[in-house]
A = this chain, B = another copy of it.
């Protein structure tokens, strides 16, 4: 398939390369960030373009991978040949945000993964969540998705929004807690690798049983001496102290419900 990318950030960076490696042609890359655009265009043998008027492009599919906050502006400006499938890659934004694109068959192509340019991603393991009202558009997106991933699902905008919120808790917020944890280890001169088995087990367990039913630690045991000692250890980091307190309360709430 011929695909044009709008955006050259973390998602576009990995997705364009995965599609290119799977044998698709990336015809062009548009981005307001010229350096990122040119770097990605070089990687996938695409043209670097400077206009959102794509009516002369040969692409059957246009993938818009821009920050959520920029999506409406792109949708208002972009022009495509009638019948082109135009899909965004956002977890939080509805399909309807693309209604502004005249003549396009709107779709969503949401990769449920966290991307950083510095780290390679095995796309075969990335769930791709699709949405489109037009049956042909959905088929095109499915063919595209199945060419790079083993997990392809159709999910509507409401469910995807909820999935995105769940992913913020499971990934973004978890990553922040791991960052706090790492800072605390560094203070004690201990390597973070010590925590790896614990993290693996925490996740393996959460996949087998509801996490609320296998909660361990001082909060669920109402071990007030340990909780107070921990809060005292965090007195130089008032924000983390607040987080410790609130997470402890929330665990105790959930324990009472379970």
Do A176 and B68 form a contact, CB below 8 Å, given A112-B194, A112-B198, A153-B194?
Answer: no
Verify A218–B172 contact, CB threshold 8 A. yes
Tell whether A181 is near chain B: CB-to-CB under 8 Å. Answer: yes
Tell whether A226 is near chain B: CB-to-CB under 8 Å. Answer: yes
Separation of A27 and B158 alpha carbons in the complex (Å): 59
Separation of A218 and B233 alpha carbons in the complex (Å): 30
Separation of A249 and B177 alpha carbons in the complex (Å): 13
Separation of A227 and B52 alpha carbons in the complex (Å): 28
Residue numbers in B under 8 Å from A125 (CB-CB): 197, 200
By beta carbon, the residue of chain B nearest A168 is: B217
Residue numbers in B under 8 Å from A217 (CB-CB): 114, 168, 171-172
By beta carbon, the residue of chain B nearest A218 is: B168
Q: Mark A239-253, 1 if CB is under 8 A from B, else 0.
A: 110111011011101
- Would you list which residues of chain A between 155 and 171 have a CB under 8 Å from chain B? 155, 158-159, 161-163, 165-171
Tell whether A199 is near chain B: CB-to-CB under 8 Å. Answer: yes
Do most interface residues of chain A lie in helix, strand or loop, or is the interface mixed? helix
Residue numbers in B under 8 Å from A67 (CB-CB): 221, 223
- Would you list which residues of chain A between 186 and 214 have a CB under 8 Å from chain B? 187-190, 192-203, 205-212, 214
By beta carbon, the residue of chain B nearest A129 is: B194
Tell whether A39 is near chain B: CB-to-CB under 8 Å. Answer: no
Tell whether A82 is near chain B: CB-to-CB under 8 Å. Answer: no
Separation of A153 and B185 alpha carbons in the complex (Å): 15
Tell whether A78 is near chain B: CB-to-CB under 8 Å. Answer: no
User: Would you give 15 A-B contacts (Cβ < 8 Å), ordered by A?
Assistant: A67-B223, A119-B208, A119-B214, A162-B187, A165-B230, A169-B180, A169-B244, A175-B216, A176-B254, A178-B202, A179-B210, A179-B211, A179-B254, A240-B250, A243-B246
A residues with a Cβ closer than 8 A to B are 10, 67-69, 92, 112-116, 118-119, 121, 125-127, 129, 151, 153, 155, 158-159, 161-163, 165-185, 187-190, 192-203, 205-212, 214-221, 223, 225-226, 229-230, 233-234, 239-240, 242-244, 246-247, 249-251, 253-254
Q: What are the 6 A-B residue pairs with the smallest beta carbon separation, nearest first? A: A172-B217, A179-B211, A162-B188, A170-B181, A166-B184, A169-B181
